[in-house]
């Protein structure tokens, strides 16, 4: 690897932008592909698939063996609301290798006793979120049921282009939320990105089951081709 | 693989900047039960210091030796480790898998 390629790769990684390295196994020839250049690349299909799966691997193209090394940032999960579902969701997300943070201005909820070992920020979203570097490798869930807390948080998540944004609440609650956010100037395509009711339709009842539904939906969004993930989560219960 | 362990690439860059000869080893293919997934890295410098892992400890010693060769020659190498022959117990994978490791020099 050229020193220059390594420096560029490390710069992408430090900025939490995905990048792939393609190495020709016969010649040792090598190139770096940044996330923004994948679509126009001759290997776009293979690069997209490997990045989505977060899996490095060998591909054969025109008789050439090429090794694709995937460098994907560690995914983050930001939870708005230190509620019962969050208590089940936080350890689950950790087990799936997410960096987890819980935000809730209500100190009675955001207490270390309720969330042992989980980073907690007992602040309003406008104070808590800027320091969290919410980015496209972040999954974002709003679980408080309180528009004063959830709405500004969701607006921030949409601006930061989180790969997954979900909000707790029934269809009726969500319809009201859409109305409020529209009045604040959030565009329709942006609003359509919010998964609500949150989670895959698996008939979840308990907080832990709802956490499973949420984590499954996040995983589908991260791993499946965009169209397939959309079809999956739109399926009726 | 959500990359938790690849600060070693930053260390490779730092070693290079500090004037060390540096090699990068990457698991490029695995068969059977391999301890580390494809894409796993080991970085080695010309003093034989290494970081990361390509096998969870089974073959790192051999990879480091080959990497020192690669650092001096500049030519990349493909190494294969498995349990296919009797020498395997010296530098083999006790788990029964086979791995192929690409070793390249980090150039100037």
Closest CA to A22 of A63, A69, A71, A65: A69
**Chain B residues within 8 A (CB-CB) of chain A?**
1-4, 6, 9-10, 12-13, 16, 24, 26, 28-29, 37-39, 76, 78, 102, 104-108
Q: Of A71, A87, A105, which marks where a domain is finished? A: A71
| Euclidean distance between CA atoms A35 and A37, whole angstroms | 5
User: Of B13, B24, B29, which has the smallest distance from its Cβ to A10's Cβ?
Assistant: B13
A 30-49 residues inside an 8 A Cβ radius of B? 30
Does residue B4 register a pLDDT over 70? no
SS3 content of chain B, % helix, strand, coil (to 5): 25, 30, 45
Q: Are residues A30 and A131 in the same domain?
A: no
Q: Of A39, A71, A103, which marks where a domain is finished? A: A71
- Tell if the CB–CB gap between B13 and A72 is shorter than 8 Å: no
Closest-CA distance, A218 to chain B, in angstroms, reads 15
Q: What are phi and psi of A158, to 5 degrees?
A: -65, -40
| Euclidean distance between CA atoms A94 and A118, whole angstroms | 9
| Euclidean distance between CA atoms A35 and A84, whole angstroms | 37
Token representation of residue A222:
């991260």
Range(s) of the domain holding residue B33: 8-105
* Bridging pattern class, strands A138-142 and A164-167: parallel
Residue of A nearest to B108 (CA): A3
| Euclidean distance between CA atoms A123 and A129, whole angstroms | 9
3 state SS of A190 = helix
In this complex, is the C-beta atom of A15 within 8 Å of any C-beta atom belonging to chain B?
A: no
Token representation of residue B70:
């690669």
User: Of B1, B16, B105, which has the smallest distance from its Cβ to A70's Cβ?
Assistant: B1
Range(s) of the domain holding residue A226: 76-234
Q: Are residues A63 and A82 in the same domain?
A: no
DSSP state for residue A73 in the 8-state scheme: P
Residue of A nearest to B24 (CA): A1
Q: Are residues A136 and A94 in the same domain?
A: yes
Which chain B residues are Cβ-neighbours of A10 within 8 angstroms? 9-10, 13
Domain count, chain A: 2
Q: Are residues A127 and A172 in the same domain?
A: yes
Q: What is the pLDDT of residues B9-64, one digit of tens each?
A: 999 999 999 999 999 999 999 887 777 889 999 999 999 999 988 887 778 889 99
Which residues have a Cβ under 8 Å from the Cβ of A140 and sit 6 or more positions away?
A: A77, A78, A80, A134, A153, A154, A157, A162, A164, A165, A166
In this complex, is the C-beta atom of A219 within 8 Å of any C-beta atom belonging to chain B?
A: no
Which residues have a Cβ under 8 Å from the Cβ of A184 and sit 6 or more positions away?
A: A151, A155
Which CATH number is A140's domain given? Answer: 3.40.50.720
Which chain A residues are Cβ-neighbours of B108 within 8 angstroms? 3
Q: Are residues A207 and A184 in the same domain?
A: yes
Q: Are residues A84 and A51 in the same domain?
A: no
In a domain, B101, yes or no: yes
In a domain, B96, yes or no: yes
Give Cα separations from A5 to A9, B51, B108 (angstroms).
6, 20, 10
ipTM over 0.85 threshold = no
pLDDT by residue for chain A (237 residues), tens only, comes to 999 999 999 999 999 999 999 999 988 899 999 999 999 999 999 999 999 999 999 999 999 999 999 999 999 999 999 999 999 999 999 999 999 999 999 999 999 999 999 999 999 999 999 999 999 999 999 999 999 999 999 999 999 999 999 999 999 999 999 999 999 999 999 999 999 999 999 999 999 999 999 999 999 999 988 766 655 555 544
| Torsion-angle region of A44 (φ positive above 0: left; ψ -120 to 50: alpha; else: beta) | alpha
Q: Are residues A38 and A97 in the same domain?
A: no
Domain count, chain B: 1
Q: For position A25, what pLDDT does the model report?
A: 92
Q: Are residues A136 and A114 in the same domain?
A: yes
Residue of A nearest to B16 (CA): A3
| Euclidean distance between CA atoms A172 and A175, whole angstroms | 5
Residue A70 near residue A20 (C-beta atoms within 8 A): yes
Closest CA to A68 of A98, A45, A96: A45
Q: Are residues A48 and A85 in the same domain?
A: no
| Euclidean distance between CA atoms A165 and A113, whole angstroms | 27
CB pairs under 8 A between A and B: 77
In a domain, B36, yes or no: yes
No. of helices (H) and no. of strands (E), chain A: 9, 10
* Bridging pattern class, strands B22-31 and B98-105: antiparallel
Q: Are residues A124 and A227 in the same domain?
A: yes
In a domain, B1, yes or no: no
| Euclidean distance between CA atoms B22 and A4, whole angstroms | 14
In a domain, B2, yes or no: no
Q: Are residues A39 and A52 in the same domain?
A: yes
Q: Are residues A65 and A84 in the same domain?
A: no
């Amino acid at each position: 690897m050229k020193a220059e390629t390594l420096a560029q790769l490390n710069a992408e990684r430090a900025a939490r932008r995905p990048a792939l390295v393609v190495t020709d196994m016969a010649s040792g020839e090598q190139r770096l592909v940044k996330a923004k250049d994948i679509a126009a690349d001759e290997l776009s299909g293979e690069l997209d698939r490997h990045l989505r799966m977060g899996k490095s691997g060998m591909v054969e193209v025109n008789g050439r063996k090429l090794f694709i090394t995937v460098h994907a940032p560690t995914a983050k999960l930001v939870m708005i609301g230190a509620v019962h579902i969050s208590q089940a969701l936080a350890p689950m997300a950790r087990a799936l290798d997410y960096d987890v943070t819980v935000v809730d201005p209500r100190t009675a909820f955001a207490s270390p006793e309720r969330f042992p070992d989980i980073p907690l920020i007992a602040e309003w979203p406008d104070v808590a979120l800027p320091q969290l570097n919410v980015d496209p490798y972040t999954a974002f869930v709003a679980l408080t049921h309180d528009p004063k807390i959830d709405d500004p948080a969701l607006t921030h998540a949409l601006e930061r282009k989180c790969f997954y944004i979900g909000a707790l609440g029934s269809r009726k609650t969500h319809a009201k939320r859409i109305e409020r956010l529209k009045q604040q100037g959030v565009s329709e395509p942006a609003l359509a990105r919010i998964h609500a009711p949150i989670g895959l339709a698996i008939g979840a009842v308990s907080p832990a089951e709802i956490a499973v539904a949420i984590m499954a939906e996040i995983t589908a969004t991260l791993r499946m081709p965009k169209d397939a993930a959309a079809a999956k989560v739109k399926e009726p219960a | 693989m959500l990359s938790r362990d690849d600060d070693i690439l930053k260390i490779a860059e730092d070693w290079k900047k500090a004037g060390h000869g540096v090699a990068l080893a990457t698991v490029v293919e695995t068969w059977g039960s391999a301890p580390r997934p494809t894409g796993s890295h080991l970085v080695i410098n010309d003093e034989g210091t290494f970081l990361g892992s390509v096998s969870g400890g089974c073959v790192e010693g051999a990879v480091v030796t080959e990497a020192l060769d690669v650092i001096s020659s500049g030519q990349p190498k493909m190494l294969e480790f498995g349990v296919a022959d009797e020498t395997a117990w010296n530098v083999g994978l006790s788990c029964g898998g086979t791995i192929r490791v690409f070793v390249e020099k980090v150039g100037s």
